[in-house]
Amino acid sequence: MATPKDILEKAIALQPLEKAELVDTLISSLDRSDSVLDQLWAKEAESRLSAYKMGELKSISLNEVLSKYK
């Protein structure tokens, strides 16, 4: 059985177009929908929006968020 290192070495040897297709396929495989998880996130988002509208949750600007990572 091939190890991740073996697979990486073979991937590095691919032509640029083949690499791009491989990367696209790998990234797409990570973005599969999970209906249970989607429902949980929707419930959480509704809960946060409701709390914000009732004044129970404050917001901060995008600049404030980004400044923490500079």
Region 40-65: mean pLDDT is 95
Buried b (16+ CB within 10 A) or exposed e, 37-61: eeeeeeeeeeeeeeeeeeeeeeeee
Region 42-68: mean pLDDT is 94
Question: Which pLDDT score, from 0 to 100, does residue 45 have?
Answer: 96
Give yes or no for residue 67 having a pLDDT over 90.
Answer: yes
Residue by residue, DSSP assigns 3-33 as -HHHHHHHHHTS-HHHHHHHHHHHHHHH---
2-52 tens-digit pLDDT: 999 999 999 999 999 999 999 999 998 888 888 999 999 999 999 999 999
Query: 1, 19, 61: which is closest to 10 by C-alpha?
Result: 19
